[in-house]
Structure 1
Amino acid sequence: MGEPSDLMLEGVVGSFAYGLNTPDSDVDYLGVYVEPTRTFLGLHPPTRDRGTRQGRDGADATYHEVGKAMGLILACNPTVTEVLWLDDYIVATEFGTELVELRSSFLSAQRVRHAYFGYAMAQFRRMLHRRETQGLGDKRLAKHARHCRRLLWQGYELYTTGVLPVRLPDPEPYFEFGRQMLDESGDAAAKALLAEYEEKFDSAVSALPERPDEAPLEDFLQRVRRAHLDARPG
């Protein structure tokens, strides 16, 4: 299928956004769309679980319905939160721009730490298991390692500054870390990096509040729903 018709926000994410792209990298798109409000009022309203669509034929593109997207961003989900911190957008409606302007209201210290550091730890465990089961010849290890290290850095920056930098200032350390995963030293390097960031998070003073500021988010979503009350399902 093509792009959702009620798209409010869309941008390029993934390796091209981070500066970690290689000649083999695909362009990834992430967006937020609005479901017509009338579809929530009938016998079979859409559920949050179904509020994700794929789009852009032939490309890797994911679109979340605004209600689901906001729930995921409130949980500081790394793969969705970044859509509000991109340098530029392919699509940004008036509501989409307002959502970007509300990005700091979603943040809270514990959720950021849990989401980014916790997710990175889970990814590292998967990566090390892959090393053990697939061997060092698995070329996916390098990409997996680059993105694990990227998650740790981004999460720590967001936790300590309140700002999520999407593009890495210097990609080379991440490529070098990826290359390490393809040799015997990779296991020790991964565990050392995790220990380093655990210590950094433990000793840091977060710039984020204890709780997100939900009042403006609730107001925003209510206005979006009212604005799309009479819209017809596409």
Structure 2
Amino acid sequence: MTGTDGSGTAEVRNVLLAGIVGSTAYGLAHQDSDVDRLGLFAAPTEELHGLHPPKASHVSTAPDRTLHEAAKWCRLALGGNPTVTELVWLPDDLYEVRTDLGDELIGIRTTFLGAARVRDAYLGYATQQFRRLESRADGSFSADTRRRTAKHARHLKRLCHQGHELYRTGRLTIRLDDPEAFRSFGEEVAADPDAARPLLRHFEQAFAETRSVLPEHPDERAAESWLRRVRKRFYEA
């Protein structure tokens, strides 16, 4: 079984699910934006038992593509990682590879969610973006600095909105309803990085005051069962 990432580049075997993520998926891409791809694959089960296990991730830059081995993807998703989590919440038209096992994974996506991990992961990533805004790279107001600052600000706002939605409703909307509001926020923060502080403080309070619909911890049993089906599928005696 062979997957394709739609790019015409060398393929990783046994791709189970892959799609377009990042700015293109959010609706924030511009004409110079890279197209980011993310997916997961199954290593042949036999290779997991030797002295030298297969690579857990394959990353390329032409095109920008990251593929995680199935077990690694599960561990990252169970930890609340926002980047890997979005793979199982994409709009249908953004998937480039879908298999039966990939569809099964989409079907159990809510079992990967736990309130504490979602809150900590999304707020943690948003705080990282804020720290980058505070540092302002070289401290100049060059065009490149403004561009990078605006980008960090857009992603800070996105992480806050998406994370709080997921925490509050148990659903994750990838395409932003009003991308222009995020672009405007980016330009505002590019002119004054401290303008991002009220937004971050607002969502810190919102998370603290919101009662999540999610269980406190994810249900690892569903991921374990799915992963064992993957191992059985790709075992060749």
TM over 0.5: yes
Do the aligned residues in 2 keep the contact of 1:106 with 1:212 (CA within 8 Å)? yes
Aligned to 1:221: 227
Query: Partner letter of residue 33 of structure 1?
Result: F
Query: Partner letter of residue 26 of structure 2?
Result: Y
Is 2:58 the counterpart of 1:53? yes
Aligned to 1:110: 116
SS of 2:67's partner is strand
Aligned to 2:70: 66
Aligned to 2:89: 85
Aligned to 1:121: 127
Aligned to 1:11: 19
**Deviation by residue 1:84-104 (Cα, 9 ceiling, x = unmatched):** 100121101110110111100
Do the aligned residues in 2 keep the contact of 1:8 with 1:92 (CA within 8 Å)? yes
Compute the displacement of 1:52 (Å): 0.7
Is 2:35 the counterpart of 1:27? yes
Choose the corresponding residue for 1:40, options 37, 42, 48: 48
Q: How many Å separate the matches in 1 of 2:162 and 2:83? A: 12
Aligned to 1:209: 215
Question: Size of the alignment, in residue pairs?
Answer: 224
Aligned to 1:178: 186
Is 2:141 the counterpart of 1:136? yes
Choose the corresponding residue for 2:236, options 218, 222, 230: 230
SS of 2:212's partner is coil
Query: Partner letter of residue 164 of structure 1?
Result: L
Q: How many Å separate the matches in 1 of 2:20 and 2:37? A: 5
Q: How many Å separate the matches in 2 of 1:222 and 1:53? A: 22
SS of 2:19's partner is strand
SS of 1:90's partner is strand
Query: Partner letter of residue 71 of structure 2?
Result: G
Q: CA RMSD in A?
A: 1.4
The runs of 5 or more residues in structure 1 that have no matched partner are none
Do the aligned residues in 2 keep the contact of 1:37 with 1:225 (CA within 8 Å)? yes
Compute the displacement of 1:140 (Å): 1.2
What percent of counterpart residues are identical? 48
Compute the displacement of 1:182 (Å): 2.1
Aligned to 2:5: none
**Deviation by residue 1:174-212 (Cα, 9 ceiling, x = unmatched):** 10111012213x31x111111110111111010100111
Q: How many Å separate the matches in 1 of 2:14 and 2:206? A: 42
Query: Partner letter of residue 196 of structure 1?
Result: H
